[in-house]
Structure 1
């Protein structure tokens, strides 16, 4: 498990590949690809202090791409002492795009704008005269192969001690190598899916050149976490945590239950904005099937009373978040002395705070237990802190969590409150619950639920004229939102088969009293967010 250092950096006891992030949109993908090789890696800001890296078991370094130009004033550069540490420890380095240009900048090469920008697919070929220098990295790749380019600057001369090993029609220096230093640079992006052999190339670097262990195994991780929690919490300590029934809270709860049994107290708060039968189903899955020590608090009247007449999204979120905290503290007092708080932090949350680009602007408030007051004096336990969402799902399967829970789409903390636009009341919420249930039922019936990252219905604060039989209607409009995504940072609308979309619309209009029109949201993220509020 990671530990927090005094300077804010993380310390891990695993051998790892350190990825230094220069602000690339692809940095997360580098980490994902390395993890897919069963190799543990951590993402750091490119400005990371040397002592942060020094206290970790780094066996190799990858420098990411980035939007800057290395020769411009104010551009980010790796700390001089980090370079000194890399050379002293003889750590292998792979620079990707900007990362390659950073190597050139440091070791005496020349970087300047290219005559032509190079974006999209490109055919990369070996430079036969220097094939021996690139043997360890690209020797097993075909003579020509496809990779993805995304750059305006390029190398105009290689750094001292390096030779060219790859080229494209537009880049003489598409790949460089200094085998003596075990340093390599690539102008293209092997981490993206448009680079079909990119994963093979990354394997050559992290496994063959760096010697990183391929022991990033979900069951081993679970066993290690359980062991560490038992040591940390001790034989008498208690842990409290909020659960929703989603994959993150379910997997985290199973880990805690395995570690300390009923000394883990899970709390499900029904705020009146859950989906149809959700509280009952979550209790059945988590308490009855998984044996979690779970208490369900029915607070629907309390929440809806406070939300009455509120229509502004941020106000709704803050009321729900504050009320949730109040209820959570009340329930904690009933349990007695509690030492630790379970929090479902995922690795992308950690990355967001340590990225070179820094934390994102507040687009919308997030509802989680991280906002609990300091007066509770609880120490955090974050079992999923090192994992991406897909790794959490893999861990859930390994732990025996049923597939329904593992693959359930994410559901926001405020629940249907931010999918029922405008006024919140039980009538509108029940209407939305029925429409949402029909949507999910039809997606499962069509066998496409797993193709979609998130799917839900939205009740709009507008009415439209319709006709049913010989009668005029003037009723609500329901929007359907289905997106495809892997990281939830970007998303595209799902191209729903027309016949499925038709069935969903027909059923909602016929079965949900109060709705007479259904529309389909075809906005991508960005510029839209996945949720409507």
Structure 2
């Protein structure tokens, strides 16, 4: 179950996905303009799809492939002849160039912040200066385009690679850089120029207004005598999902809150109280011992995720076997969950996600994912409309596997106690300084490394705790937060004084990419 065209009357931008990690970020940027988007994977693109969606414009995403690789993702060139604007980004840029007889070669690559020079003005660059910084991430590049079919609009300053072009006789563009990421300062303006200015799309999309559409879809999907099992963690995604399902089918929602022993400090009680105040009375299962026993000796991140996902499924199966009317499993899967799990053919798997593409067949349930095509800010808008308290709506995202992915190496009671308390200190200090809502996520990480210290005038060998605080708009990209030094100092002092086993606190200053937000 998914939201498919909740508004048939609004203008839509079609995004063709070639497996790029930023595909859904492109979609989110367009939706920020109040224009609806739909993503179609390249292998599903057809004239019937175009006729059904009737897009105002088409955007071709980036992707990890080279157009010269065997089985590289491709689409037919008829897409350029539809009479509607097309924008190719990175791989899409190279693909359009090859379609019109251009040449793509393997170069030295451009990665990160890159300076480009606009050599011919065009409406797509309205509001841009003659030189601007953009974000590049490519090794292949467009070396040549036929001058009778296209004109070069911009080149990179250092390597003189073609950074942007336009077909001469139509509004078909290619840009080598990524306008969708925050590291391209005027990228949003370029997308606005294309979507609103060139394509003429009308900004009529409002996620807060689609609640009834989602509820009606759930109601029509779930049979009248069927129940829906929904695991609620207290996170905004699962909470919103549970509220939508309850609004649709009432008491036929079977909400379950599983304490896997990897929650934050005081979280179990807080979640139960919040859910009950919202009218959801979940089945509470304390499975801490079962999860922690299963994770003993396990060091690999992916193996931890696999074990945790499998144990959740086993718990759900026990519940299902006790109630023959449960036919559905509702999950708070969102767009970034789907793309980062490598679920799309052609995409590169970043990390597994136990909510995506990993539902065991032996569970015997059909999957219900009412917010699968929404982004975090859109889910929050819906949650507020459903009455979720603002403080809870803007809680930092917390991974499904919990603190298991914030402990590097084997999970031990000692390391779990350290990361739990240290993370609490980080959150308390951010709230005290008024910075909590400014950042996307903030937490502590602990591994096996030790550092020699001095405590009580005596030599001490203790753990290294790493603090990770990032700023983001969607979780797809993130930058480390420039927290005031006095706040960092307070965090470090509290951690080393309140947690005897810690002798060193470090601060992670690597952005995503190349890093991820969570360590594992």
- Give the C-alpha shift of residue 297 in structure 1: 1.0
Give 3-state SS (helix, strand or coil) of 1:291's partner. coil
- Give the C-alpha shift of residue 183 in structure 1: 3.1
Per the alignment, residue 357 of structure 1 pairs with 346
1:497-527 Cα shifts (integer Å, max 9, x gaps): 3221221122222223443443334445555
Q: Residues of 2 paired with 1:58 and 1:412: CA distance?
A: 37
CA contact (8 A) 1:343 1:369 kept: no
CA contact (8 A) 1:108 1:159 kept: no
Per the alignment, residue 237 of structure 1 pairs with 226
Which of 134, 137, 141 in structure 2 is aligned with 1:148?
Answer: 134
Change (3 A) 1:85 1:517: closer
More moved, 145-154 vs 257-266: 145-154
Per the alignment, residue 332 of structure 2 pairs with 344
RMSD (Å), alpha carbons? 3.8
Change (3 A) 1:341 1:199: same
Per the alignment, residue 131 of structure 1 pairs with none
Per the alignment, residue 432 of structure 2 pairs with 445
Change (3 A) 1:85 1:484: closer
Per the alignment, residue 246 of structure 1 pairs with 235
CA contact (8 A) 1:44 1:354 kept: no
Per the alignment, residue 87 of structure 2 pairs with 94
Change (3 A) 1:400 1:184: same
| 1:374 is aligned to 2:367 | no
Q: Residues of 1 paired with 2:119 and 2:382: CA distance?
A: 39
**Unmatched segments (≥5 aa) in structure 2:** none
Q: Residues of 2 paired with 1:205 and 1:526: CA distance?
A: 26
What does 1:247-326 align with in structure 2 at a 5 Å threshold?
247-288=236-277, 290-308=278-296, 310=298, 313-326=301-314
**Unmatched segments (≥5 aa) in structure 1:** 4-9, 128-133
What does 1:113-512 align with in structure 2 at a 5 Å threshold?
120-124=114-118, 126=120, 137=124, 141=127, 144=130, 146=132, 148=134, 150=136, 153-154=141-142, 156-158=144-146, 160=148, 170=160, 174-178=164-168, 181-186=170-175, 189-193=178-182, 195-288=184-277, 290-308=278-296, 310=298, 313-351=301-339, 353=342, 357-360=346-349, 363=351, 365-368=352-355, 371-421=358-408, 424=411, 426=413, 428-461=415-448, 464-512=451-499
Change (3 A) 1:29 1:121: farther
Change (3 A) 1:279 1:98: closer
CA contact (8 A) 1:264 1:293 kept: no
Larger radius of gyration: 1
**If the length of structure 1 is used for normalisation, what is the TM-score?**
0.81
Give 3-state SS (helix, strand or coil) of 1:90's partner. coil
More moved, 498-507 vs 308-317: 308-317
Per the alignment, residue 130 of structure 1 pairs with none
1:199-230 Cα shifts (integer Å, max 9, x gaps): 34433432354344423211222221012112
Change (3 A) 1:29 1:489: closer
Change (3 A) 1:334 1:354: closer
Residue-pair matches, total: 511
More moved, 381-390 vs 322-331: 322-331
Change (3 A) 1:259 1:503: same
Q: Residues of 2 paired with 1:190 and 1:522: CA distance?
A: 23
Per the alignment, residue 59 of structure 2 pairs with 62
Q: Residues of 1 paired with 2:300 and 2:161: CA distance?
A: 52
Q: Residues of 2 paired with 1:107 and 1:369: CA distance?
A: 38
CA contact (8 A) 1:125 1:166 kept: yes
More moved, 412-421 vs 272-281: 412-421
Per the alignment, residue 32 of structure 2 pairs with 36
Per the alignment, residue 14 of structure 2 pairs with 18
- Give the C-alpha shift of residue 27 in structure 1: 3.8
Give 3-state SS (helix, strand or coil) of 1:339's partner. strand
Per the alignment, residue 106 of structure 1 pairs with 99
- Give the C-alpha shift of residue 337 in structure 1: 1.1
Q: Residues of 1 paired with 2:129 and 2:290: CA distance?
A: 67
- Give the C-alpha shift of residue 177 in structure 1: 4.2
Q: Residues of 2 paired with 1:211 and 1:192: CA distance?
A: 23
Q: Residues of 1 paired with 2:494 and 2:405: CA distance?
A: 23
Give 3-state SS (helix, strand or coil) of 1:274's partner. coil
Per the alignment, residue 7 of structure 1 pairs with none
CA contact (8 A) 2:100 2:145 kept: no
Q: Residues of 2 paired with 1:376 and 1:115: CA distance?
A: 49
Change (3 A) 1:319 1:164: closer
CA contact (8 A) 2:16 2:61 kept: yes
Q: Residues of 2 paired with 1:31 and 1:122: CA distance?
A: 24
More moved, 511-520 vs 263-272: 511-520
Q: Residues of 2 paired with 1:305 and 1:460: CA distance?
A: 19
